[in-house]
Amino acid sequence: MHLIAIGGSDAGISAALRARELDPDAEVTVVVADAYPNFSICGIPYLISGEVGHWRDLAHRSVADLEATGMRLRLDTRATAIDPTDHQVHLHGSDGRQETVGYDALVVGTGALPVVPPIAGLAGPEALGAADGVHLLHSMGDTFALATTLERQPARALIVGAGYVGLEMAEGLTVRGVRVTQVERLPEVLPTVDAELGALVRAELSDHGVEVVTATTVRSVDRAPAGAAGHLRVEASGPDGQRTTWDVDLVLVSVGVRPETGLLVVAGAATGPAGAVVVDETMRTGLPDVFAAGDCVVTHHQLLGPTYLPLGTTAHKQGRVAGENAVGGVARYAGSLGTQVVKAFDLVAGRTGLRDHEAAGAFRPATTASAPDDHKAYYPGAHPIATRLTGDLDTGRLLGAQLVGRLGTEIAKRVDVYAAAIHHHMSVAGIDDLDLSYTPPLGSPWDAVQIAAQAWVRDHQQRTREDLTPA
Ligand SMILES: Cc1cc2nc3c(=O)[nH]c(=O)nc-3n(C[C@H](O)[C@H](O)[C@H](O)COP(=O)(O)OP(=O)(O)OC[C@H]3O[C@@H](n4cnc5c(N)ncnc54)[C@H](O)[C@@H]3O)c2cc1C
């Protein structure tokens, strides 16, 4: 049995590890386009900030660790074509060597590529790039290029986009001593949460010296004229068409990713939302013995069905399922709730499940805002957690949760409680029944998670005195 995994990040390596774990006799080859298998690209912002000391520290496992599991790594090697009929993959090494290798099962984990928005100066023969201080950020190669620009000690940077990676990079560059301007096309930063919560994140960025400009679209990046404050000139237009110009030394474009599906599409795989490759819950693509996982595939959302939700957590789980099934297992991917969390300076924002407008097609959603303290107010350091819970008015089912609070208010783990509740189809009212922990420095007899649920019930399901009195 020969399993080939294409891609050496979360999905490809998870598949290879699981296959070797379940079937020590399986021959497993991982083909990786670069020389950095199993690196945590999620950690790049903390390498840039200097909190992670060396790029090698970002490796989940070293090459030696991976090889010790029995898998074979083909680094600096790109898969250029899949022949699903003959069960073969064509490989092209960075040294120019080409070969064709047979497989019994194939897992494709080619991930995603950063979106390049339609900004003049970013495409075409005259496009500015990393050597000019204009960057995208997804791979270790991108990271090294950015690090080279940072060695030139830029004074000012402009980040296009205020999604979670843009926010993490605003913090990372600020910590590095770079003055950051962040420009977002939408009306509020972190558009994955409701604007009321995004506003809290924006205030945190501003408090740390980031110039935040929203409802503004970057139109062009060009070389600045001699004598300007920076060597790059960025032009943008605001909501009324008014133009703004910045002269900076570094531009980072961070506006999301698109699935890298070329190999599978040419081989005949079907695509779905966002152009990602369609897979079933066993991560099969429909091509014989070809599985796929991670940022290159459609995500099954537990509440919405097929969608595109590229996240590291998802890629790990899907890769593991694909690896297990590739060696004859019967694993299935249970689906995603889009649970995610981001730290922006001393604030943390998390979400899981659906927001009101996302749920509207399939449910009758209602959202309640509340701000319970993270622990008993008499114990020093208590802070409110801005919470927005969404439930279904017809069934009372919990549909989603969004939380923003200070670092230390356990946003990540509290959002995980809601994620577990949604996964198990709990009602909002049912959150009260959970036996959650309590000690005054860390919580309350009714945890913040439950107080927010009680607020939703009060707003949408409150029973009257007549309801409580037997007729
Ligand atoms: C800065 C940053 C921060 C992030 N933070 C978080 C976070 O905090 N939490 C979270 O859940 N997610 C986070 N993510 C997203 C997460 O990193 C991705 O969802 C995850 O890496 C996807 O894994 P993947 O294996 O599907 O694809 P990728 O990580 O994109 O890897 C694709 C792999 O395929 C290889 N490859 C591609 N084409 C070929 C080819 N033809 N031949 C051979 N090899 C090929 C690439 O070299 C690479 O090894 C972050 C992403 C970034 C960029």
- Ligand 1 pocket check: which of 18, 55, 295 to mutate, most ligand atoms within 8 Å of Cβ? 295
Residues 6+ apart with CB under 8 A from 378: 440
Say whether 346-468 and 130-253 share the same fold. no
Decide: 183 in ligand 1 pocket, CB within 6 A: no
pLDDT(184) > 70? yes
- Ligand 1 pocket check: which of 311, 313, 416 to mutate, most ligand atoms within 8 Å of Cβ? 311
Question: How close is the Cα of 288 to the center of ligand 1, in Å?
Answer: 25
Give tens-digit pLDDT for 288-337: 999 999 999 999 999 999 999 999 999 999 999 999 999 999 999 999 99
Residues 6+ apart with CB under 8 A from 240: none
**DSSP symbol at 305:** E
Please state the rounded mean pLDDT for residues 4-30.
98
Q: Which CATH class is domain 346-468?
A: alpha beta
Cα Rg of the chain (Å, integer): 24
Name the residue type at position 239. Answer: P
Please state the rounded mean pLDDT for residues 252-268.
98
Decide: 159 in ligand 1 pocket, CB within 6 A: no
Residue spans per domain, the chain: 2-113+257-326, 130-253, 346-468
Mean pLDDT taken over the chain: 96
Instruction: Provide the pLDDT for residue 393.
Output: 96
| Ligand 1 atom closest to 11 (CA) | 25
Nearest to 210 by CA among 201, 223, 222, 197: 201
Give tens-digit pLDDT for 41-67: 999 999 999 999 999 999 999 999 999
Can you tell me the distance from the alpha carbon of 347 to that of 200, in angstroms, rounded to the nearest whole number? 9
In the block, residue with structure tokens 């945590």: 40
| Phi, psi values for residue 356, rounded to 5° | -50, -55
Can you tell me the distance from the alpha carbon of 426 to that of 353, in angstroms, rounded to the nearest whole number? 12
Question: How close is the Cα of 435 to the center of ligand 1, in Å?
Answer: 37
pTM, whole model, 2 decimals?
Answer: 0.95
Please state the rounded mean pLDDT for residues 133-153.
97
Decide: 137 in ligand 1 pocket, CB within 6 A: yes
pLDDT(85) > 90? yes
Look at ligand 1, atom 28, and give the residue with the nearest C-alpha.
Answer: 111
Give tens-digit pLDDT for 410-462: 999 999 999 999 999 999 999 999 999 999 999 999 999 999 999 999 999 97
In the block, residue with structure tokens 């003959």: 86
Its sign, for the CA torsion 327, 328, 329, 331, is: positive
Instruction: Provide the pLDDT for residue 340.
Output: 98
Residues 6+ apart with CB under 8 A from 302: 334, 335, 336, 337, 422, 423
Give tens-digit pLDDT for 100-129: 999 999 999 999 999 999 999 999 989 999
Superfamily designation of domain 130-253 = FAD/NAD(P)-binding domain (3.50.50.60)
Characterise 38 by phi-psi region: left (phi > 0), alpha (psi -120 to 50), beta (else). left
Tokens of 445: 């007899």
Look at ligand 1, atom 6, and give the residue with the nearest C-alpha.
Answer: 42
Look at ligand 1, atom 23, and give the residue with the nearest C-alpha.
Answer: 10
pLDDT(471) > 70? no
Instruction: Provide the pLDDT for residue 462.
Output: 76
Q: Which of the listed CATH numbers 3.30.360.10, 3.50.50.60, 3.10.450.50, 3.20.20.150 matches domain 2-113+257-326? A: 3.50.50.60
Please state the rounded mean pLDDT for residues 367-376.
98
**DSSP symbol at 2:** E
Please state the rounded mean pLDDT for residues 159-166.
98
Decide: 332 in ligand 1 pocket, CB within 6 A: no
Q: Is the distance from CB of 216 to CB of 183 less than 8 angstroms?
A: yes
